[in-house]
Structure 1
Amino acid sequence: MMDMTVAPAEQEAGSGGWPWELPAGWCWTYLGELGAWTGGGTPSKANKSFWSNGTVPWVSPKDMKADIIGDTEDKITIDAVENSSAKYVRIASVLMVLRSGILRHSFPVAVTDRIVTLNQDLRALTPFEGIDPTFVARYLKFATKRVLEDCSKDGTTVNSIEVSALERLPFPLAPLPEQHRVVNRLDALFTEISEGEAALAEARKGLETFHRALLKAAVTGELTRDWREKNKPVKTGHDLLARIKAERAAQTSKGRRKRMQDTEPLNTTDLPELPEGWAWALVADVGSVQLGRQRAPQHHQGENMHPYLRVANVFENRIDLNDVKEMNFSPAELETFELTPGDILLNEGQTPDLLGRSAMWRSAERGFCFQNTLLRFRAIEPLEPEFCLLVFRHYLHAKRFKRESQITTNIAHLSSGRFSTIEFPVPPIEEQKEIVRLTQHGLASAADTRILLDSQLSDAARLHQAILKSAFEGTLVPQDPADEPASVVLAHLKAAPSRATIPRRGRKRAVRE
């Protein structure tokens, strides 16, 4: 154990290199001086007697999701503890993850409420008598940023904390009674904050439900039920389909569009009934479908390099151009794959629940193309592209695309052929415009509310940290001059440190203690 170096508040003020000035009765020390440290170990997985019907909690990083560690996903046997590197760790010890990818952004800390063992990626600090383990754990939560910046190992494949650096972490120690007052006050305040955060999270879930419900109402006609009663269409969805068919035939005869392959007529037997004036069609009946250009080494350079979009660029109703790659497109290929305003891009290859995620290309910038991880849908006039996007967004949330998927190695694919034969609701053109107007207004209001909720959640996180800062600067609760100073407590403890681990064959006795 390092030399017991403490800085009583009255000696420390304005000097000594400690992080901040402390109130009377407090003192600076180091984390390594607060108790005894214990490492962990993993009993051999090959020995079934170490793991079968185990009763001893064995803590690993995956268990470190709560402030209190009791039960664990894995348990080992007493035989495993007695015949491996695993050690018993006492109740009221502070556990820390010292090796895990999670250390890129978090420093998991928890307190034990029973005797446990650890795997080798954790370390336990069993505080001396006179030091509240929850007080220690709360400070480590507050000091997460400093721990990750100052104590992380360099050059390791897995993020790791240097134990010796962690033991040198400055620690503001309060008198024991004040430690208890701080912990109790933090518990009360954090309970209030948690209740507020839960309410905000529930409200955000409600927005997601509203989002899905609004899209469904939009494409089933429920959203415009009242509008239809006051606005009888001059031309129906069937009339619109006939016009689209004529437009397609005219473009084909002029050579402006390839002749579409005939598709099977749509069977509407199992489809929901549409409002009066609406019609069912196939996706292929109302627009052209094109799979993007495949990447290949010969396209990585050339005279006609153009930016192209891929799955990583297309989110729901949003295209991200921060990471756009280029490949060579001949003039003929550019004519086929170039995007124009109103084109809708859908994820062709994705995880099953995100298959068909879609967004509209709205930019007038020329020369952008798309890769074969995306499908392009181009609506035939006079169909409203914005309405088409609403249909596809609803199908995403309703898992309609998922039902048409073909899954390979955990990636689902939506082929152009399967996509083309999906049913598509066609309202009269004026109703399409009203649906788009109402839906965009509703979604914009929901987006504004979501921003407000996210801001409030961020405020709650900042409040959490501000409260911890106040606690460990000694301003959260009042000081009591009658409390024994922390420096005196540490001096007494140096002579009689407590034990961190329990003898391997003394567990029953330890439990009785």
Structure 2
Amino acid sequence: MELPTGWAWARLGDLGVWYGGGTPAKNRPEFWMDGSTPWLSPKDMGPEVISATQNHITEAAVAGSAVRIVPSGSVAIVVRSGILERIIPVSLVPFETTLNQDMKAIRAHEGILPRWIAWSLRAFERQILRDCRKAGTTVASLATDALMDLRVPLAPISEQYRIVDAIEDHLSRLDAATESMAGAKRRIKPFTTSVLDRAALGASLATCSEQDAVDDSQHLLTGLSSKRFDYAALPPLPEGWFWRRSADVCEFISSGSTPKAHLMHPGNGDVPFLKVYNITQDGRVDFTNKPTYIDRDTHENQLKRSRVRPGDVLTNIVGPPLGKTAVVPEDHPEWNINQAIVAFRAGPEVQPEWLALVLRSPFVLSMLQKTAKATAGQFNVALSTCRELPLPVPPMDVQLALVAQSAELLEVSDRFAAQVASVSLRAQNLRRSVLRRAFTGSLVPQDPEDEPASALLDRIRAEREAQGAKPKRAARRPRKRAAPETLPPPSASSTHIPTDAVQQELPL
């Protein structure tokens, strides 16, 4: 791209002195016990400015390992981590520190703002992830040579201050709005939980109050035993409601099965074949997500017992997460399901929609989850457990009323969740727009009186040549550390470099 007048392209490796990291031997307690030297690792990254590290090492570790003291005011970047599949964590470090081997840090040369480097790394994040990734590594990593050779735009020092202040002003307001949306999003799940539980357990104000609950709602389970559920400990339900064993109110309860790979056909076929990812968290079947089909012969023979039809209620018994539940829609006359899904076919005493609502209820779901067996991080619920599961069953008219009432409330919740997602996406786009404008010179006006960035680079180059072409390597020996510095707030830059730039407002 064409740079504004006075700007210049610069190699990232030429903007400062770079530091690598290392991990002192974990089996040397003298390297770790009662250490006071910060040791920065990827788990500390996240904030724009690091306030502290979780781990510290001793001066003996600094002297006897590969770690080096990184000066205060440096910019730290993660260069090896699974998170590099998506983002590059970058943070300013306002105190002396050492680094984990998966980190690098740069101490900016005089005339280059550390914050300029930090925002450059964030602004060119996509390009770095595309062009600087190491090939063939099991854990996502950035190639050091490619990272050092990355060209970034460099503005005159005075304009660096103005741009960084403008970036942080715009993004601080955007971050406040984003945090507000995040708070709203956190409230959606408790609301949904309350709606489902209050409906499933008869606590809705439209049907009864707690005083109406009666103690004989378990009497239809008398004489029935279960190794997985304590029927006698179930909470009381409103008058006319009863706890029933699922096998007693369903025509059948059956799990699915999976045929050999060559019998499954992506995209087209005779009978739709549902997998867990086709059931959404908000209670729908989404067959647009990687649709798979089987042929009619497989459906009617090999997978005969896992056939389902519209109105059947599906829930997954393999997770995490458990509890994805939906009613089979009428898009096709017959469907089939894989072995991670159980189908409940409602009998005459329950509506399919009520059955689905109850199975989504956190109270009922928690009873299932407590019986799940964990294997290699996967949770599995037995089919026999699903048949013994106790379900609250109110009169049919109450079921219909509560299903309708809950649907209205959950629709409000779903609409709100969609709005939050839309605003969050817009905030991400605005953030990229701010950074794009900043590093193309259109966020604040240029000042023709500013010293060109090329003069700054020439000065840095001359200083390096005077020192022998390569920057002096920082010593590993421990030294007396200065008291931790506090980075100046964004507005403090104006006390060093005068500015009269007018910042444009970017609407949220």
Q: 1:68, 1:113 within 8 Å by CA — same for their partners in 2?
A: yes
Q: Deviations over 1:108-164 (max 9, x none)?
A: 211211111122222222110111101110111011011111222223332222222
CA contact (8 A) 1:289 1:416 kept: no
Q: For residue 211 of structure 1, what is the amino acid of its counterpart?
A: T
Larger deviation, residues 364-373 vs 281-290: 364-373
Change (3 A) 1:21 1:197: same
Q: Which residue of 2 aligns with 1:245?
A: none
Runs of 5+ unmatched residues, structure 1: 1-18, 230-237, 243-261
Please, which of 258, 262, 279 is the counterpart of residue 314 of structure 1?
A: 279
Decide which moves more: 416-425 or 87-96: 416-425
Q: Structure 1 residues 509 and 226, CA, compared in 2 at 3 Å: closer, same or farther?
A: closer
Which among 426, 440, 450 is matched to residue 393 of structure 2?
A: 426
**Are residue 387 (structure 1) and residue 319 (structure 2) matched?**
no
What is the match of residue 210 of structure 1? 191
Equivalent residues, number = 461
Q: Please give the secondary structure, in 2, of the residue aligned with 1:193.
A: helix
Cα separation, partners in 2 of 1:453 and 1:307, compared to 1, 3 Å: closer
Structure 2 contact 247–253 (Cα < 8 Å) conserved: no
Residue in 2 aligned with 1:284?
247
Q: Which residue of 2 aligns with 1:345?
A: 314
Equivalent residue for 1:27? 8
The amino acid of 1:94's aligned partner reads V
Match for residue 82 of structure 1 among 51, 54, 63: 63
User: Which residue does 2:128 correspond to in 1?
Assistant: 147
Structure 2 residue runs without a partner (length 5+): 210-215, 486-508
1:367 deviates by: 5.3
Counterpart Cα distance in 2 of 1:200 and 1:510: 40
Does 1:468 pair with 2:435? yes
Q: CA RMSD in A?
A: 3.3
Structure (1 or 2) with the larger CA radius of gyration: 1
Tell me if structure 1 keeps the 8 A contact 2:310–2:334: no
Alpha-carbon distance in structure 2 between the residues aligned to 1:128 and 1:319 = 57
**What letter is aligned with 1:508?**
K
Q: 2:95 aligns with which of 73, 89, 114?
A: 114
CA-to-aligned-CA distance 1:194-242 (integer Å, 9 cap, x gap): 111111111122222221111122223343x44689xxxxxxxx9xx99
The letter of the residue matching 1:319 is V
Deviations 1:402-450 (A, max 9, x none): 2333344443332233332332222221221122222112212221221
Residue identity matched to 1:109: V
Contact 2:202–2:208 (Cα < 8 Å) also in 1 = no
In the alignment, is residue 507 of structure 1 matched against residue 476 of structure 2?
A: no
Residue 324 (structure 1) aligns with: 292
- Mapped pair 1:181 → 2:162: yes
Task: Look up the SS of the partner of 1:207 in the other structure.
Answer: helix
Q: State the 1:394 CA deviation.
A: 0.6
CA deviations over 1:40-98 (Å, ceiling 9, x no partner): 22223333322232222222222222222342233222212212221111111122222
Q: 1:166 and 2:147 equivalent?
A: yes
Distance 1:83 1:323 in 2: 58
Contact 2:75 2:91 in 1 (8 A): yes
Segment drifting more, 305-314 vs 46-55: 305-314
**Pair 1:500–1:280, CA change in 2 (3 A):** farther
Distance 2:118 2:32 in 1: 30
Percent same amino acid among aligned pairs?
33
**Structure-2 separation of matches of 1:334 and 1:512:** 68
Give the deviation of 1:338 after TM superposition: 0.6
Q: CA deviation at 1:106?
A: 1.1
Q: TM-score, normalised by structure 1?
A: 0.80
- Residue 56 (structure 1) aligned with residue 28 (structure 2): no
Shift of residue 389, structure 1, vs aligned partner? 0.3
* Residue aligning to 2:82: 101
Which position in structure 1 is the counterpart of 2:117? 136
| Alpha-carbon distance in structure 2 between the residues aligned to 1:398 and 1:331 | 32
Alignment match of 1:442 (pick from 409, 412, 423): 409
> Which letter does structure 2 place at the counterpart of 1:357?
K
